Amino acid sequence: MNSSPHIAVVGATGAVGIEILETLARRDFPVGNLTLLASARSAGKTLRFKDQSYPVTELTSDSFAEVDLALFSAGGAISKAFAPAAAGAGAVVVDNSSAFRLDPSVPLVVPEINGEDVHRHQGIIANPNCTTAITLMALAPLHQAFQVTRVFASSYQAVSGSGAQGLAELKEQIRQLENNQPVTPSVYPHQIAFNVLPRVDVLLDNGYTKEEMKLENEGQRILHHPTFKASATCVRVPVYRAHSIAVSAEFEHPIDLDRARQVLEAAPGIELTDDPSNHVYPLPLDVSGKDECRVGRLRKDCALDNGISFWVSGDQLLKGAALNAVQIAETLVEGPPNA
């Protein structure tokens, strides 16, 4: 790929699109030309990137002439409609939706875990689900050391996972409650302020939601582990930003807790934050706006053979979305090892 590629950001005015632009600038990504694309209602707006203003234009199938790299974050329907057109025009697509994650011809990549898969693309590369990515940042190094077989997980997912509307609803409900006004749910089926909702995404026939099944389905692909099993309960919590996951994981090999700590301390993109006797453990507030995920509350699981329990927190707009996409782009620009 061109060392200073022409970048297109699809969904540029959305929450993740804005984070992509900020992440490109912050990491000094070698952007050659920049095209900002969004829906017709956003066309005509301008966005700032590295102290310059760029116009937002309407996304069409003809938007990708001379584009080298298209970063999509506009939802699955948009990706299915326009990502093939972008790839057909010669761009490499990094897609943040669920549209292509389980397509066997499309690499599903977390660069710290399976970055080499980037170079096997056929025009489209998929970003994983945000909760899956954050969970696997802690689980994958342990898998390399002890060979994971199955996990039981409960997520604590911030309202920003529902976009700007989720953030607005939590803020508005807090205001309503403080003023003794009736709460008016809209984004969520129940009040989210000072409450937790034990369902995220569409309910499936097996009783799990689509969000809950992503940990197993996407985890198998990212870990290159087709027999990996995961039972998850995904919960929406009244936190503005950053997801957390409580994980109990069972492994093939006996657990050495000291070795597990060493493995996590050496793993890229993860910080071991684990001194619970002094109230030191990962907090959503502490990882908001941060690139690294944090893992703590590490202990042997007392209910599983060869088990470890841990708590991991990460910014789902960054490692769960924008940062991961930019890291994939960086890997593409670097080219395959020994190329």
Indicate which residues carry an active-site annotation.
130, 243
* Token representation of residue 325: 């996409």
The rounded distance, in Å, linking the Cα atoms of 36 and 59 is 9
Structure tokens at 128: 């994983």
- Other C-beta atoms closer than 10 Å to the C-beta of 30 total 14
Comparing CA positions, the residue from 169, 241, 233 lying closest to residue 197 is 233
Say if residues 137 and 319 touch (Cβ distance below 8 Å): yes
Distances from the Cα of 311 to the Cα of 86, 238, 249, 265, angstroms: 39, 18, 11, 15
The 3-state DSSP composition of the chain as helix, strand, coil percent (nearest 5) reads 35, 25, 40
Inter-helix orientation angle 130-146/210-222, to 10°: 40
